[in-house]
Each structure stands twice: as C-alpha cells, then as structure tokens.
Amino acid sequence: MKGVILFADNKILEANTFENKLFERLNASAEYVVFPINSVDALEETLKNVSTFKALILDWNFERDNTGIEDELGIKLPAVTPELLLLKTDIYSLIYVYSQNQISEDIKSRLKVKFGSKIDFKIKGQEDKVDYHANSIFDDITTFENSNKHMEIPFVWSQAINKSVQEIFVELEQADPNWIKEIRDTATNDGAEPTSEVIDIFHHILNESLIQNKLLREALNAYQCDAAAIAEENTAKLYRRFFYSKLHEYAPLMTGDIFKFSDEDYGVLITPECDLSNKDKVVCEFLMIKKSISCAYQNKKRRSYAKDPSSADGIFHNSAISQHYLFSFPFDAKQFDCLAVVDFRNAMMVCERVDKDGNSISIYRNGYKLNSPYLHQMRQRYVAYIGRYGVPAIPVSLRNYILKKTEK
C-alpha cells in the first residue's frame, strides 16, 4: 500500500454512475486505500480527522444542503461549496478537482495562490473512459510525488505522530483514566495554568516518542538534500516560522507574546505562565524593543558587512552580553529581513494588565509569539546579565604556575 486517497463526490455511491465506477476502479487497486465521501459535511469532518492522505479527488459541483437547517431556523444560510471549503482549509496533499464544466480562471487563480502546484483541475469523463481516468489519476499522483520529494518526510512524520498519539493515549488511560483531571488539579493547586500544563506534558511525551520512532529516524537519515538550492528570502521566511508562531484570535495571554505599543515600541512578554494565570497578578513584565534603534543598528552592521562579512558573526552568535538579537522579527508581517535589538541595560518595562479604562493589555498584541527555545534563551541571557557578579582577577603569577609544564 502507498497510502490513502479521499474521493469526495455526491454521486460516488450511486450505482452505474461514472463517479461510482471510477471509485470502484480506484478501490480495486492494491496500491491505495480509497475512502468514499458523498457530502461536503462528511468531507469537512474527514479533513478534521484524517491528517495523512496522498490525494484528495474533489467533485466541484456539489454543495452543502442547508434545507433542513433553514426550515428549522427560518433563515437562508449561505451554501458551503468546495471552493469555500478549500480556501479555509490547509491541505498538505495533491488536490485533484473534478468538474462537469470548465472552472473559471479567477477561481483557479485564487486556489493556485494558496495551493500552488499541489492542485490540479480536470473535466469529468464518460463511463467508457473509467480506466483511462483511473490510470491518469495514478500517473498524476506518481508524477506529483516524484517532483515533490521534499514532501516524503512530512508524510512519514505525520504517520509517526498518528501512531504515537494513539499509543500514548492508551498508556495514559491504562495508568489513570482521569489523567487529565490529575494534571489539571495538580497544576491548579500549584498556581500554574492548568490547560497549558496538560498540553505541555502531552507534548513532551509525544516528543520523546517521536525521537525514538525508527521509521521516522530512518527516513530523515536517508533524506538526500545536498543539491537543494535555497533562496535567501525563503530561509528568512523559514526562520520567521521557527522563531515565531502566529496567534489565533482567541489565544490566551502567554509568555513570549509580542506586543506593539506604538509604531516605535515593541515588547516581548516575559512574565511566567503561572503568574499570567493568577488573576491577582495585576502587572506584566516585558523586554522592550525600539524599532528605530534596531533599524539603525542593522543598517550600521550592513555597512560593516559590506566591507568585511566576518564583522557580523558576533550578532548571530549573540556574543554581546548586554544585548540580544531576534532575527526575521515581525515588525511587518510581510518583511522577513528585520533585526530586533533587545538592550538589556534598559529593556525591562512593567505595566498594568488592565488600564484605567478597563481595557486588557491583550489589545496590544501584534499577532505573534516568540517560540521556545528562543524565548527561554532570551530570558536566560537577561537573567545572566542582571545577575552577573565580578570577582578580582587571578594574578599573572598564578596563571603562569598553573599553565607552565614543570618537570617532576
């Protein structure tokens, strides 16, 4: 078996239709497991619960039937079409769109912007062309896989996650069916934020399981990437994702959240999670970033780099004890070459969690969060800076005595 194909079409289970015959032909192959899906609702639910599939074959001409809901509510609801579903869903697989008629170039363009080469558009065939279309789909999947070798590892990774998650849930339930309650109660009694604690503990267990996964390790060890040419801007975008996560609309206040207090003043929240979950904690602590100072420093280093590329090494090693540098900083969501400077000498700012007008400090979040371990590195370096303590130098005579080799 090479994997799973999702085939979504409202006629897929209707006998003697082209769609049903194509499904039967695909399903008869020993190469793939083909799941039939005959409604938009079923497709939406499947996409939420099945994370690893090779391809999605999607009928373009069906939509959600809202009749029953509309009769009950007495209002007209907008239909949910395949286009709307695709535009709101992230899919890391080949998408094979089947349509009775040509799809407009405007719609194709919108979907191509989101899915790139991972989406293809085909016109449905006749009943006597089932074998041709089935072979065409298999050939296209093979061609797609051969031209997207970089996707092999994520598929193996997803399978490893699926397997590990099931194993961990079974083990935790066998140990204590109320394991979530145990963690939440312990965290609550200890002053921590219980929901985050449950997620963190499970994440750490999952991480340990994945590190030991034999198939994933073998796939990563065998991965050939020496010849891959990577554009510098792509690397900057990649590290934007490594360093920062986008915050969802209802994300709780978290250590590492990035705030924009003005066009000039940005801050990284360093208050510990346990304090943030404590409603009696009325202030938050930030390490502040001045945009103009960061830009001026970056331009200065650019001039030095133009003369001597090695002059920039200290920045990327964070070698200055009084400063910390954050790369690809999201001053602007679409600009990836910004350097942010955190000057520990005057970076700390404390402010009220709720202002005099009753507004939560959360309104100043800029939509990004500094990820671990980069957040922990910055906090640790700040603590090291403010906690440094000097002692008298060792005399030269003692250095010489220790370092000189003497005959015995």
**What average pLDDT does range 210-229 have in this prediction?**
86
Torsion of Cα atoms, 330 then 308 then 321 then 258, to 10°: 0
Asked if residue 43 belongs to a domain, the reply is yes
- Same domain flag for 43 and 128: yes
- Same domain flag for 135 and 206: no
Last residue of a domain, one of 222, 251, 272: 222
- Same domain flag for 244 and 216: no
Asked if residue 401 belongs to a domain, the reply is no
Q: What value does the mean pLDDT of the chain take?
A: 88
Token pair of 162, please?
């699926």
pLDDT for residue 1 is more than 60: no
Q: Which of 210-214, 294-298, 303-307, 322-326 has the lowest mean pLDDT?
A: 303-307
Helices of type H across 127-151: 130-147
Asked if residue 399 belongs to a domain, the reply is no
Instruction: Indicate the burial class of 57 (C-beta count within 10 angstroms; 0-12, 13-18, 19 or more).
Output: buried
User: For residue 261, which phi and psi values (nearest 5 degrees)?
Assistant: -85, -25
- Same domain flag for 73 and 176: no
- Same domain flag for 100 and 178: no
- Same domain flag for 93 and 135: yes
Q: Which of 112-121, 204-213, 236-245 has the lowest mean pLDDT?
A: 112-121
Length of the chain: 408
pLDDT for residue 31 is more than 90: no
- Same domain flag for 138 and 184: no
**What average pLDDT does range 146-159 have in this prediction?**
87
Is pLDDT larger for residue 30 or for residue 289? 289
Asked if residue 250 belongs to a domain, the reply is yes
Asked if residue 406 belongs to a domain, the reply is no
- Same domain flag for 256 and 357: yes
Other Cβ atoms less than 10 A from the Cβ of 283: the count is 11
Place of tokens 């910055």: 378
Instruction: Indicate the burial class of 303 (C-beta count within 10 angstroms; 0-12, 13-18, 19 or more).
Output: exposed
Sign for the CA dihedral angle at 45, 47, 53, 55 comes to positive
Is pLDDT larger for residue 283 or for residue 358? 283
Asked if residue 368 belongs to a domain, the reply is yes
The pLDDT tens digits for 90-107 are 988 899 998 877 888 999
Asked if residue 407 belongs to a domain, the reply is no
CATH number at residue 325: 2.30.30.110
Q: What is the domain count for the chain?
A: 3
Query: If you write DSSP's letter for every residue of 168-216 in order, what string do you get?
Result: HHHHHHHH-TTHHHHHHHHHHHTTS-HHHHHHHHHHHHHHHHHHT-HHH
- Same domain flag for 174 and 255: no
Residues in contact with 262: Cβ distance below 8 Å, sequence separation at least 6, in sequence order: none
Residue ranges making up the domain that contains 263: 232-386
The pLDDT tens digits for 232-280 are 899 999 999 999 999 998 899 999 999 999 999 999 999 998 888 887 8
Query: How large a percentage of the chain has pLDDT more than 90?
Result: 49
Place of tokens 């198939």: 215
Distance CA 107, CA 113 (A): 10
- Same domain flag for 374 and 237: yes
SS3 323: strand
Asked if residue 408 belongs to a domain, the reply is no
Last residue of a domain, one of 177, 192, 222: 222
Distance CA 200, CA 186 (A): 14
